[in-house]
Amino acid sequence: MTAQGSPTPGDEDDPRRTTEGEDGQGRGSRSHAPRNAAEWATLAISAAIIALLVGVAVFEHLTHDSPAGTRVEVVLALDEVYEVEGRFFIPFTATNRGATPAEDVVVTVTVRAPGPEGAVLEEGTADLAYLANSGERTGQFATDYDPATYPVEASVSSFQTP
């Protein structure tokens, strides 16, 4: 019988052997057995996935043609207006065509009286908390005025850049 921590015959050449002290903690070094095929395959697949993600990020960065800054615009979908119980709902899309996101975007929709003077009959706002770079958000404006009869316009009143 051998004392704890003493090598047993034949263990001196075993590279996986550790020497344990009296407290049971290993003090020696432990070598790993050579990697098997599954480990090599996992490593290769992981490396390929990381390389693919880095490649996509670099490609997107180099080919993305958004202008610098924030360019927010709003478009009304007047061909998609629908009526419910005498109220007209006008869909709109706010788009950021710039490379910088926008926060607290305020979209203003105005209904005017027909004619060249076009007094403001109704005005409403929509607040969009966040608009990503090259992103878009949709919403609807509700009014009592038929957009087929009354001119409706939309604009971006304000936004902040983070």
Does position 25 have pLDDT exceeding 80, yes or no?
A: no
Q: What are phi and psi of 13, to 5 degrees?
A: -100, 0
Closest CA to 107 of 143, 154, 160: 154
pTM: 0.58
Mind spelling out the 3-state secondary structure of the chain?
A: CCCCCCCCCCCCCCCCCCCECCCCCECCCCCCCCCCHHHHHHHHHHHHHHHHHHHHHHHHHHHCCCCCCCCEEEEECHHHCEEECCEEEEEEEEEECCCCCEEEEEEEEEEECCCCCCCEEEEEEEEEEEECCCCEEEEEEEECCCCCCCCEEEEEEEEECC
Q: What integer best gives the mean pLDDT of the chain?
A: 83
Give pLDDT tens digits for 97-125.
Answer: 888 899 999 999 999 999 888 899 999 99
CA 19 to chain centre: 51
Give pLDDT tens digits for 39-90.
Answer: 999 999 999 999 999 999 888 777 766 566 788 899 999 999 999 999 999 9
Higher pLDDT, 30 or 132: 132
Q: What is the dihedral of CA 145, 131, 161, 60, to 10 degrees?
A: -140
Higher pLDDT, 147 or 19: 147
Does position 19 have pLDDT exceeding 60, yes or no?
A: no
Residue 97 is predicted with a pLDDT of 86
Residue 59 is predicted with a pLDDT of 84
Does position 147 have pLDDT exceeding 60, yes or no?
A: yes
Residue 17 is predicted with a pLDDT of 53
Does position 135 have pLDDT exceeding 80, yes or no?
A: yes
**What does the alpha-carbon distance between residue 15 and residue 91 come to, in Å, rounded to a whole number?**
72
Q: Distance between the two ends of the chain, CA-based, in angstroms?
A: 73
